Every structure is written in structure tokens, then in C-alpha cells.
């Protein structure tokens, strides 16, 4: 790229220090899509949400293909089978879309998040909420780290639900950090035969202690599916949504068909990673409108929402 050019892309600066240095050396004005602020005006540019919605939908399909049973209740002349029990852990955009999809397919669905405010969203999509009694809501809608005492309480409550589930979908991720561990080896060992875990946070190391990122493994009689870059598995829709996100961001930079960057614009200022050889300040993520999350999962449209510890 020529010096002073503009780049609009996912960057994840914390993981790519060498790339960031090249951007600085070339004085590239870089707009990192993961930094789009989660405010109402920027919803149409929020690529994290649009891609997470696809991942949440596809996680249910991945789980269903690895289960040796059906998701809905089916009644035949030989008798009734099903429904399967699905537990979704982490109720950001991906988790809520997973709940909505599993519910539409006829499963009995439970949802869990360390932020109690997500309970209403889970209920609105047809799931019951697993309440551990712990509130770990942190700044900007993210979840804070649990204390050892809180972890023990949460694990004690969740173990029963994990081990009763036929399909567990985990979505908890923390931008720039390792994914939090939600399922221990001991909990996996106690799961029912034929159960499946779909770990959507494999790129950060996974939410399950037995996860092998990028691979599908079997631990005892439990299958753990840990795909990477899940939206790419739905390439047509993922590309269309991402293109629309970028188009809407670019529209903010254009005035009479000429690139004119208004650095007083909150969206552009927050999304910018580098400019003129200097790093821009990281954005502050506001607490988002919870109602938007439920609407997002219900309709398939992306909206501003707090990531579950992000929701991948």
C-alpha cells in the first residue's frame, strides 16, 4: 500500500503487533472494524454483530449434525422421540441467535450468562435462564473476571445443567485476551453419552478445558467441535453482510464523492486505529440496549449489543 492510504479491515491489534507497526511506518489511516462503537447510529456498521449472528445460527447446525438424535419432539407410530436439551452459555449476539435457532428447531433450550440482565433476552426467545446468583456485569456491558469463590458457586450450579444437556454451545470471548473457561474437564467427564459441545470461542483457546482449537475431538463419549472463523462457513451471507457494514462506514467518509474524514464524528474517531503514523486511542464501549440483542436474534438482523464477555 502506498504511504497515507486508507485501510478498512478487521485488524485485532493486540494479536498483530507487527502488522500495526507496518501501518504506523507507512502512515496508513486504518479503520479497524472490530472497533466500531456499539451505539445506535453505528448499528449498520457493526461487523462483529453481523458475523456473530451467523456464527450463533451455524453453531446449532454444527451441533445437530454431530448429535445422534433429533432436536425436536417427533411422534411416530412407533412412539415419540425428543426433544433434545440445548444449553447456550454466553448471551451476546451469537448466543442469542443460537437460542433462537435451537428454539425454532424444537429443542428445549436453556441460556446462561454471568450478566443477569440477559435473562429477559433469553426468556423472550423461548429459553429458560440458568440463574447462578452471581452478577459479574463489568464496564461497558462486558463481564468482569469472577473471583475463585464465585467460580466455585457458578460451577456448582452449572454442572447439573451441563451434564443434562444433549448439546452445549459456548460463545464467551474477551477481545484481545484468552477465552474464559466455562466447562471443566470434570464436567465433560460427567456429560451424558453422545453429548456434543460446540465451542465458538476456539480462536481464543476455547471455553472448554478439553477444546482443541480448529479440531473436532472426542473425549470419552462426548464430541467437542471447535471451529475457527465460523462466519466463513457461511461465506455468501457473511460476505454480503460484511460488505454492507463496510459500505455504511465508508459512507461516513464521503462528501460529494470525495473522501473527507470528520475526526469529530464519534464513529470514525472510535474506529480509527492508526493515522499519520500514530496510534489512535482505543474506544470506550458503552452499555448497549439489551432489547436490541433480543430483536437481533429473533429477526437475524444485527444490532448494537454488549458482547458477552463479548459473544462471539
Active site residues: 38, 43, 46, 49, 142
Give residue 242's Cα distance to chain centre.
16
- Compute the CA torsion angle 278, 284, 289, 294 (nearest 10 deg): 60
Crossing angle between the packed helical segments 47-66 and 93-104, to the nearest 10 degrees = 40
Instruction: State phi, psi for 108 to the nearest 5 degrees.
Output: -90, 120
Instruction: HSE, CB side, 13 Å, CA atoms: give it for residue 304.
Output: 18
CA distances from 254 to 28, 35, 165, 247, 268 (A): 18, 20, 50, 11, 12
> Are the C-beta atoms of residues 174 and 309 closer than 8 Å to each other?
yes
Amino acid at each position: 500500500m502506498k504511504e497515507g492510504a486508507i485501510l478498512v479491515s478487521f485488524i485485532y491489534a493486540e494479536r498483530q503487533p507487527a502488522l500495526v507497526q507496518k501501518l504506523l511506518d507507512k502512515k496508513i489511516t486504518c479503520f479497524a472494524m472490530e472497533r466500531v462503537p456499539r451505539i445506535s447510529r453505528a448499528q449498520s456498521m457493526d461487523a462483529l454483530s453481523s458475523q456473530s449472528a451467523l456464527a450463533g445460527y451455524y453453531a446449532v447446525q454444527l451441533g445437530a449434525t454431530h448429535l445422534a438424535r433429533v432436536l425436536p419432539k417427533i411422534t411416530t407410530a412407533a412412539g415419540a422421540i425428543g426433544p433434545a436439551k440445548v444449553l447456550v452459555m454466553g448471551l451476546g449476539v451469537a448466543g442469542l441467535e443460537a437460542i433462537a435457532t435451537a428454539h425454532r428447531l424444537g429443542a428445549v433450550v436453556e441460556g446462561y450468562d454471568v450478566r443477569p440482565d440477559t435473562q429477559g433476552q433469553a426468556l423472550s426467545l423461548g429459553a429458560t435462564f440458568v440463574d447462578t446468583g452471581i452478577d459479574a456485569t463489568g464496564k461497558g456491558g462486558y463481564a468482569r473476571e469472577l473471583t475463585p469463590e464465585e467460580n466455585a458457586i457458578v460451577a456448582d450450579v452449572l454442572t447439573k445443567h451441563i451434564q443434562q444437556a444433549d448439546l452445549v454451545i459456548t460463545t464467551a470471548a474477551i477481545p484481545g485476551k484468552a477465552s474464559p473457561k466455562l466447562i471443566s474437564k470434570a464436567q465433560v467427564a460427567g456429560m451424558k453419552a453422545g453429548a456434543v459441545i460446540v465451542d465458538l470461542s476456539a480462536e481464543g483457546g476455547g471455553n472448554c478445558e478439553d477444546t482443541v482449537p480448529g479440531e473436532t475431538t472426542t473425549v470419552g463419549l462426548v464430541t467437542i467441535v471447535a471451529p475457527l472463523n465460523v462466519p466463513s462457513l457461511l461465506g455468501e451471507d457473511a460476505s454480503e453482510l460484511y460488505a454492507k457494514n463496510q459500505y455504511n462506514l465508508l459512507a461516513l467518509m464521503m462528501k460529494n464523492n470525495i473522501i473527507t474524514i470528520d475526526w469529530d464524528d464519534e464513529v470514525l474517531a472510535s474506529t480509527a486505529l492508526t493515522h499519520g503514523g500514530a496510534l489512535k486511542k482505543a474506544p470506550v464501549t458503552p452499555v448497549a440496549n439489551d432489547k436490541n440483542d433480543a430483536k437481533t436474534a429473533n429477526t437475524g438482523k444485527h444490532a448494537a449489543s454488549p458482547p458477552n464477555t463479548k459473544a462471539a
